[in-house]
Structure formats: structure tokens, C-alpha cells
């Protein structure tokens, strides 16, 4: 580790700031601690002195006080309990007051009347951890969630209740829904987690985006919505209830907005505040598609506009997205990663510059909070140009052309330029302000700009997948399976076992006709086998031979994957959501066995009539191309087998390895479909998140030490559709600024550290289409390279505002700061580039310009190397003036590393 900076050197440089805790020095204070002191920091509570939550037309009132609230969306089952504290802390550090989460019905009631609240579904533990950080909680009970979660959160057993129809005026459904919602509410009350009990819960939601589909149910939908509202209110929770995207929500229920932009949203009553329950700061990805990306500048613009135009509570969907472990990913065809391009990535690492840019935005909004809550009606509106406007929040009348200097009244202003192309200078408060395109400037004192959404002062981070611990001992053995010497593969020792095609025993049964997939499997497995027999005559074979054709199997509709086997051999496959299948088949004289495999890749999670969507095959199943006409197999006798033999014998479980039949992998096992693979491996050293690269495999599922980490699939995104650079100004959609074209949608899969042992970890794969497990690698994931460039005319750090006295003190003497931060447990090990002057290029491509302070590298190295984070004043006072009369930047590229290891990177993203 490099030596610490010299104390004497820093006495000579008073403006060079080495701030070990500067990120926690913020102009804002967390909502909970500002309300009142936290009573207990443990996990038993009470966590706060009891307080009431109400609302008026302007804002949610916490303990009687209006608040401008920032909420961070975090879904507890998409991380492990061991990850929760760090994720919640990163939300708080980023400026959140509230954590928002859905409740996942199918996770908590996997069988009717049998409840589960353990491990990743330990809801009470999660809520108490939120409270222990001094944050509030917004509990979206639903219990329909959508959330790109399997079946939208509904348990599959629900659809088997006689006469049931979901989400409408249907007595069987309402009874089950009320029972579950009551269960959750009673649990929260019993644990004293509502605000009036000293807990963190300040808001809760009933239903979810029902207004999107209500019309499909006619008057029954309207009645159901009103029933759901009254049922929730009758539970006497003592805090407000929310219905998102419900324009006809009853007066006692808050209706809220879900969208990419909600600055134009108004609730359906003048008595309700403006709330944004889902700010989509990214988007989900489907297998075979590119990865969505929403730039930090546009996210910040949308949020600033929301508060500018009267918003009071905004929730990022998602702030941390996480992972769809096991078979929880929704459908159709949604990937295992739920990263969502969120400020905290799937592995719990800060995504920069998004996290840092939004943190600065939140601090600026908090500086404006006194003015925002003081204005009871609408803010003062000032037209500044054809596409430029200001909203002024003040305790008194503000004159457009008058200076605010010396004025003691509370005043904050937002200046917006919604032009997508032009920089514009506007005149207000007796001075000129330069507004970049598609941006908002925030003036907490109606004089000084604290933040502009288009000017990013946060660092850029480059994520790295890097080999962790020394190779597993098995890699030291020569192996013909490792064609590339020196590559960091997981293991050279693999075992295999072939999966039985079709019927393997267990609970198989035969019946006439094509049964619906979920009616048979009850979603205990992705897989359902259908097997029947066809007798082929000499005339059939002669006919095909004379015509030079083959018979064709046709199925009217399949979802999500169908595979066709003839006499145990794979004939072909079809992928899609209720698409047709036409597969030529090779049949021989005599009795032929036809086997169909139906595979689910996530149940439908959105839309009306979910209980009717189902899975498997629809319509007719026929064989065409016979001399005497088509053969209709729809009503034939079929034998059904749920799941895989290896799945139900638990070949993936460590405790079952003594019973499993494995053999050493041979060359011909590579690319072999319907094969189980296993190996043993050591964990990487250190504490960084672990990822496994399954890009050499086809499609299947992966288990580590018995934990199903999720489905994998190496479908490749189209070559086109990803711009070389992202031009963020203008309305965002999920297809704008996409990345990863021409690459597999997902290659890396998260293995939580707590699922690993130091050594002898068991990895088991079920591979459907064929892959090469010898090329699988295991890596640690962290931020390797961090960069920042800050101009000497950038804004002062937001923390400087909290040190001002008198409310309108000049900020002219406070220099901007360049801030750098490595991941938790990592330090800045090297400054690879540093220049104060007129450098050019960007991150990983900086170059020194004609103007350059030669002392920059030494000064920055002394300030930063060996520390997790550092901040440096950007001014001539620190570096001298290498070229007078020229605006100078400080540009820095640094490398982060763990004190425990310094390996060379495998791949950088």
C-alpha cells in the first residue's frame, strides 16, 4: 500500500482537501434524523419516537411537517439479507429519505395457507434494517406487483381456485387477496413497524397500476377498485394508502404517477400531493435483446422538473435492481439480471456517474426544501424564452429583474431549458444564467446555481471482471479440454450425466388430449414433457421418398420454448410468445416416439386476465405430409412428465452427490444437449462480489452449493440498434441509448458471497442446447478505473452551502472539488493521469494539453493514493496558474485495487 500523504506537505497546501468522510458531509440531513432522534440503532426497535403521517395538497406531512422526499426502490428478494445493510446504506448516502419495496405474494405464500418469511423473504428483517439506518419505508403491498417478477407476484395455486378471476369483482379472488393483505398488515403491526408505533412505514400501496387495465373488466373492474380501496382503509393502518396510475382513485386514496417523466402529472383531487411512485431510471432486458441505458443527465432532468413543477415525493424504480435468483424472473423471456441501469448496480456497486450525479441533485433539492414547503399554492412562474421557464418558490413576491442580494426572505428557483439543441442565456434576478439544452439549474437562494442537471461533476467508474484467487488445484493438471493456455478458467475437471428424454418415472401419467402446461406442473418446474406414439406404414415412407419431402409437425401456438424429439433425438426447437411451430421430422417405418418439451422462461407478469394466459401449447397439434391427409394428434393419448429427472433427484444438491451418477467429462460431452455438468471450485479471495461467466454455454439453469442462481441463456442481441454515443436530450424511451448490440444479452451471473465456502464449492449446470463448460470462468466484480474532470468554473461543492451563514453569503470564494471514490474495501492504488490545465480526451484516453501544471500528478497522488476516497480543490491556489486568462480543468484517472490482491484485468465494461 502506498504511504500516507505527508502532513507537512498538506500544511503548505491548505486548499488541498483530503476528506475521508466528505461524502457524508451533506447539505441535507436524512428525513428520519431530521424528524427526531433515532431511538435504537439495532434491529428490535422502537426506531423512532412515534409520529403521525398525513398529507395535504402540497406534500406528505411527517410529524406534522411537510417534507420533500426522495425514495429509493429496493426489492428485498433480489438481494441476500447479507447484502441488505450495504445497499440500504448506499441509498442513504445517495440522499434517499425513503426505501420503497414491493411485497411478493408468491414468495411469501408458496402454498395456500403456508407462509414463508425467511432468508431473502425475511420482510421484517428488511424493514427493521431500513429503520436502523434512520430511513422511512414505502410498502407496496399490492399484492399484485408486476415488477418483471414471475406471474406478477401471484402464486400459481391461486389460478386453481374454482371460479376465480384475478383483479376484478370476483369473490374467490377478493377473499384470497384480503387474507394476504391482512396478513402483511397484521405482521407489520405486531412488529410495531408503522410510524405511529415508532417504526419506519409511512406509506403503503394497494393494487398496482390497475388503471391501465381496469377498462377491460368493465363495471366489475370499477367495483373491484372501489372494494380494494375500502378494504385497505378498513385495515386501520393509521397511514396513507396509495394507488398508482389510478386516475379514479377514491378521495381517501392517493393516486400517483409511474412513467419516465411525471412533471406534468396532477392528482385527481386538489387535496392530494403530487407523488411519483415509479421513476423509471432504467429498464429491464429480455433474452436476445440489447441492454437499456438511461443517462444520468436525463434522469436528473426528469427529477428536477418534477420538483420544479410541484412534485413532493419521487421514487426511483429502481435505485438497486438486483438479481432474479432461482426462477423469479418474469415473462415472457426476461433475463436473470435485474440490474435496471440503476444507481447501485446488480452487485451492490455504485454506478458512476449516475449515483453521484443524482446524489448531488438530491442535496440541491434538500437545500430548496424550506422554500418548497413554504409555498402553499403554485410557485411563481416566469417565462424566460420560447422553451425556457422559471418556477420560483418564495415566502414573498420576487421581481424578475431585481437582485436577491440582501433579501432575507426564503427563496429557491428552478430554471429550465427544455430545448433539445440550444444553449440559452436567460435573465432573471438581475443577472444572466447560461442553460444547457434539456437541463434544469437549481438556485437554492434564488441567486447562486448549486446544480445543473446537464453538468456532471461526479466521477465516471469503469467496472471490471477480474480473476480473483489463484487457480483451483485441478487447473494445474494438464487437460486436453483447455485449448487456451493461461486463460483463467474455472476448472479443468468436470463430470457429466445425461438427462432422460421424455418419461423418466415419478409422477408421470397418460391421458387423452393436450393439457395446459401450468395445470400440470403448478410451476414447480420450467419443464413439461409430452410423449405419444405414431405408427408409420410402408406406404407413408414410400410417399415421402417419391416426393422428396418429410412430414412436418405443426402446433398452432407455443410459449416460450418448445423442443421436438423423435425417437429420443432432438429434431428442432421454437422460441417465442404464443407463436406457431412448424418442424420437419424424420419418421421411420413402425412405431415412432414423438416427444414434445414445453419450457417456461418466466410467467407473464403484466396485463389483464393473467389467470387465463397459461403456458405450453394452444390449438391443434398435427402431422402434415401424409398420403392420406394430416394426422391430428390434438386428441391422442399423451404421457405427461413434469420436470427433469436430475431436477427431481436434486443432482444439484451437495447432500445428494453420493446418490447421483456422474462420469468424467470426455471430448464428445462438449456441446452435448440435455446434459448435466458439475465441478468443484475455490472461492476468490477478498470480499468483492463474485460473478460467473457462462457465455460458453447455451441455455439452462445453474446451481452453486444447492442455490439456484437463475436461468442462463446465451442469446445474442441484434447487431443494430445501439448508437456509438448517446445523445440524451429529448424524451427518453427504453429503446434510446441501448448498448451491448451483437453480444449475448447476459453472460455474467451473480453468485452472492454468502452462498460460497472458502473451497470445495459445488457448481452444477443443466444444459439444454449444448455448451463448453471448460471455458467457464469465475471472476470478482469491482470498480477498477475511476475518472473525473472538473473545471475551475464549476459549482462549489454542495457541502459548502451548509457552512454558509446568513443565507445569502457569497460562494465566490469556495473552489469546486474533484472527488474520487473506490468501492468499499478498495483504495486508490495509482494515479494514472492527472493534469490541471487544458487536457483533452476522456476517461482512459486523457492527454496533456498545451497548458499543464507540472506538479499535478504529485499533488493528486499525495492526496489520494492509499485512501478509499479523496476530494481536491480545483483552483490556482492548489496547483498554481500554468496559463493565466485561460479556464482550466483538473482531469484525473485513478486505479482502484483491493489491498488483498492486485491481479491483471480480464475484461472491462
Active site residues per annotation: 209, 278
d(CA 197, CA 201): 9
End-to-end CA distance of the chain: 26
d(CA 557, CA 555): 6
Using CA atoms, how far residue 249 sits from 230, 235, 636, 677, in Å, is 11, 18, 50, 53
Residue 746 sits at φ, ψ, to 5 deg, of -140, 125
473 Cβ partners below 8 Å, 6+ apart? Answer: none
Cell of 501: 428424454
d(CA 549, CA 73): 57
Cell of 677: 455438468
574 burial type by CB count under 10 A (0-12 exposed, 13-18 middle, 19+ buried):
middle
Q: How far is CA 543 from the centre of its chain?
A: 56
DSSP string for 87-137: HHHHHHHTT-SEEEEE--HHHH-SBTTB----GGG-HHHHHHHHHHTT-EE
Which of 366, 368, 416 has its CA nearest to residue 389? 416
Q: Please count the residues of the chain.
A: 909
Which of 319, 365, 341 has its CA nearest to residue 138? 319
d(CA 909, CA 895): 15
Q: Rounded to the nearest 10 degrees, what angle do helices 123-132 and 84-93 cross at? A: 40
Rg over CA atoms, the chain: 30
Contact 92, 366 (CB under 8 A): no
113 Cβ partners below 8 Å, 6+ apart? Answer: none
d(CA 857, CA 549): 74
SS3 per residue for 614-679: CCEEEEEEEEECCCCCCEECCCCEEEEEECCHHHHCCCCCHHHCCCCCCEECCHHHCCCCCEEEEE
Using CA atoms, how far residue 658 sits from 651, 654, 665, 678, 681, in Å, is 10, 9, 18, 13, 18
> Could you give the 3-state DSSP secondary structure of residue 353?
coil
Greatest CA separation for the chain? 102
Q: What angle do CA 268, 274, 277 make, to 5 degrees?
A: 105
C-alpha torsion sign, points 16, 22, 23, 25: negative
Cell of 589: 417405418
d(CA 817, CA 796): 7
Amino acid at each position: 500500500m502506498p504511504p500516507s500523504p505527508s502532513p507537512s506537505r498538506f500544511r503548505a497546501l491548505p486548499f488541498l482537501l483530503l476528506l475521508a468522510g466528505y461524502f457524508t458531509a451533506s447539505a441535507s440531513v436524512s428525513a428520519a434524523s431530521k424528524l427526531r432522534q433515532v431511538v435504537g440503532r439495532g434491529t428490535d426497535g422502537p426506531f423512532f419516537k412515534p409520529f403521525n403521517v398525513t398529507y395535504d395538497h402540497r406534500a406528505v406531512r411527517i410529524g406534522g411537517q411537510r417534507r420533500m422526499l426522495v425514495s429509493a426502490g429496493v426489492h428485498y428478494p433480489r438481494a441476500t439479507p447479507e447484502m441488505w445493510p450495504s445497499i440500504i446504506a448506499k441509498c442513504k448516502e445517495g440522499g434517499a429519505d425513503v426505501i420503497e419495496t414491493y411485497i411478493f405474494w408468491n414468495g411469501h405464500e408458496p402454498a395456500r395457507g403456508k407462509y414463508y418469511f425467511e432468508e431473502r423473504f425475511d420482510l421484517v428483517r428488511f424493514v427493521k434494517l431500513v429503520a436502523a439506518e434512520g430511513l422511512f419505508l414505502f410498502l407496496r403491498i399490492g399484492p399484485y406487483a408486476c415488477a418483471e417478477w414471475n406471474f406478477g407476484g401471484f402464486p400459481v395455486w391461486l389460478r386453481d381456485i374454482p371460479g376465480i378471476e384475478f383483479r376484478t369483482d370476483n369473490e374467490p379472488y377478493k377473499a384470497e387477496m384480503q387474507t394476504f393483505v391482512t396478513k402483511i398488515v397484521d405482521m407489520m403491526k405486531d412488529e410495531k413497524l408503522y410510524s405511529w408505533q415508532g417504526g419506519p412505514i409511512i406509506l403503503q400501496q394497494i393494487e398496482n397500476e390497475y388503471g391501465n387495465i381496469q377498462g377491460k373488466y368493465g363495471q366489475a373492474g370499477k367495483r373491484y377498485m372501489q372494494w380494494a380501496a375500502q378494504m385497505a382503509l378498513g385495515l386501520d393502518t393509521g397511514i396513507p394508502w396509495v394507488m398508482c396510475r389510478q386516475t379514479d382513485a377514491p378521495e381517501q386514496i392517493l393516486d400517483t404517477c409511474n412513467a419516465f417523466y411525471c412533471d406534468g402529472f396532477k392528482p385527481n383531487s386538489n387535496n392530494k400531493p403530487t407523488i411519483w411512485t415509479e421513476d423509471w431510471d432504467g429498464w429491464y432486458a429480455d433474452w436476445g435483446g440489447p441492454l437499456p441505458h438511461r443517462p444520468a443527465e436525463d434522469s436528473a432532468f426528469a427529477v428536477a422538473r418534477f420538483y420544479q413543477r410541484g412534485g413532493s415525493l419521487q421514487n426511483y424504480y429502481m435505485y438497486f435492481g438486483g438479481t432474479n435468483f432461482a426462477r423469479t424472473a418474469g415473462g415472457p423471456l426476461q433475463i436473470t439480471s435485474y440490474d435496471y441501469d440503476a444507481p447501485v448496480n446488480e452487485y451492490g456497486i455504485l454506478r458512476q456517474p449516475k449515483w453521484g450525479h443524482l446524489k448531488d441533485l438530491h442535496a440541491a433539492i434538500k437545500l430548496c426544501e424550506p422554500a418548497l414547503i413554504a409555498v402553499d399554492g403554485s410557485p411563481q412562474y416566469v417565462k424566460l424564452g420560447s422553451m425556457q421557464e422559471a418556477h420560483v418558490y418564495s415566502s414573498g413576491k420576487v421581481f424578475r429583474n431585481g437582485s436577491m442580494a440582501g433579501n432575507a426572505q426564503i427563496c429557491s428557483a428552478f430554471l429550465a431549458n427544455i430545448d433539445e439543441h440550444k444553449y440559452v442565456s436567460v435573465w432573471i434576478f438581475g443577472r444572466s444564467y447560461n442553460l444547457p439544452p434539456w437541463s434544469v439549474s437549481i438556485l437554492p437562494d434564488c441567486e447562486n446555481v448549486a446544480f445543473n442537471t446537464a453538468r456532471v461533476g461526479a466521477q465516471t467508474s469503469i467496472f471490471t471482471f477480474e480473476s480473483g484467487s489463484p487457480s483451483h488445484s485441478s487447473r494445474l493438471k494438464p487437460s486436453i479440454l483447455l485449448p487456451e493456455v493461461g486463460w483463467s478458467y474455472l476448472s479443468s475437471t468436470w463430470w457429466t450425466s445425461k438427462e432422460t428424454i421424455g418419461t423418466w418415472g415419478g409422477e408421470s401419467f397418460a391421458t387423452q388430449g393436450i393439457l395446459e402446461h401450468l395445470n400440470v406442473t403448478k410451476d414447480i418446474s420450467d419443464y413439461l414433457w409430452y410423449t405419444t406414439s405414431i405408427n408409420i406404414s410402408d406406404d407413408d415412407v414410400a410417399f415421402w421418398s417419391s416426393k422428396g419431402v418429410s412430414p412436418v409437425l405443426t402446433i398452432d401456438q407455443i410459449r416460450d420454448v418448445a423442443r421436438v424429439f423423435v425417437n429420443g433425438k432432438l429434431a428442432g426447437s421454437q422460441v417465442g410468445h404464443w407463436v406457431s411451430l412448424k418442424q420437419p421430422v424424420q419418421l421411420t417405418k413402425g412405431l415412432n416416439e414423438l416427444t414434445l418439451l414445453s419450457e417456461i422462461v418466466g410467467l407473464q407478469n403484466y396485463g389483464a386476465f393473467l389467470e387465463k394466459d397459461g403456458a405450453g401449447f394452444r390449438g391443434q397439434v398435427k402431422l402434415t405430409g401424409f398420403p392420406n391427409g394430416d394426422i391430428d394428434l390434438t386428441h391422442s393419448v399423451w404421457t405427461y412428465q413434469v420436470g427433469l429427472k436430475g431436477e427431481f433427484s436434486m443432482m444439484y444438491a451437495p447432500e445428494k452427490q453420493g446418490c447421483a451418477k456422474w462420469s468424467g467429462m470426455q471430448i464428445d460431452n462438449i456441446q452435448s444437449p440435455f446434459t448435466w455438468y458439475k465441478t468443484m471450485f475455490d472461492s476468490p479471495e477478498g470480499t468483492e462480489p463474485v460473478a460467473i461467466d457462462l457465455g460458453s454455454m447455451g441455455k439452462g439453469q445453474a446451481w452453486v452449493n444447492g442455490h439456484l442462481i437463475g436461468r442462463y441463456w446465451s442469446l445474442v442481441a441484434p447487431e443494430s440498434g445501439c448508437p456509438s454515443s448517446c445523445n440524451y436530450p429529448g424524451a427518453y424511451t427504453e429503446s434510446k441509448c441501448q448498448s451491448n448490440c451483437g453480444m449475448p444479452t447476459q453472460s455474467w451471473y451473480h453468485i452472492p458471497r454468502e452462498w460460497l465456502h472458502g473451497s470445495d464449492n459445488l457448481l452444477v449446470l443443466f444444459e439444454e442446447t449444448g455448451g463448453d463448460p471448460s471455458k467457464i470462468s469465475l471472476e470478482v466484480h469491482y470498480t477498477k478505473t475511476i475518472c473525473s474532470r472538473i473545471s475551475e468554473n464549476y459549482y462549489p461543492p454542495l457541502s459548502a452551502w451548509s457552512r454558509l451563514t446568513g443565507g445569502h453569503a457569497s460562494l465566490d470564494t469556495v473552489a469546486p472539488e474533484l472527488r474520487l471514490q473506490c468501492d468499499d474495501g478498495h483504495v486508490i492504488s495509482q494515479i494514472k493521469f492527472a493534469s490541471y490545465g487544458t487536457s483533452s480526451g476522456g476517461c482512459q484516453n486523457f492527454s496533456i494539453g498545451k497548458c499543464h501544471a507540472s506538479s499535478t500528478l504529485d499533488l493528486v497522488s499525495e492526496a489520494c493514493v492509499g485512501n478509499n476516497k479523496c476530494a481536491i480543490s480545483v483552483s490556482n491556489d492548489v496547483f498554481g496558474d500554468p496559463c493565466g486568462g485561460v479556464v482550466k480543468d483538473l482531469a484525473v484517472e485513478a486505479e482502484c485495487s483491493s489491498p488483498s490482491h492486485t491481479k491483471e484485468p480480464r475484461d472491462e465494461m
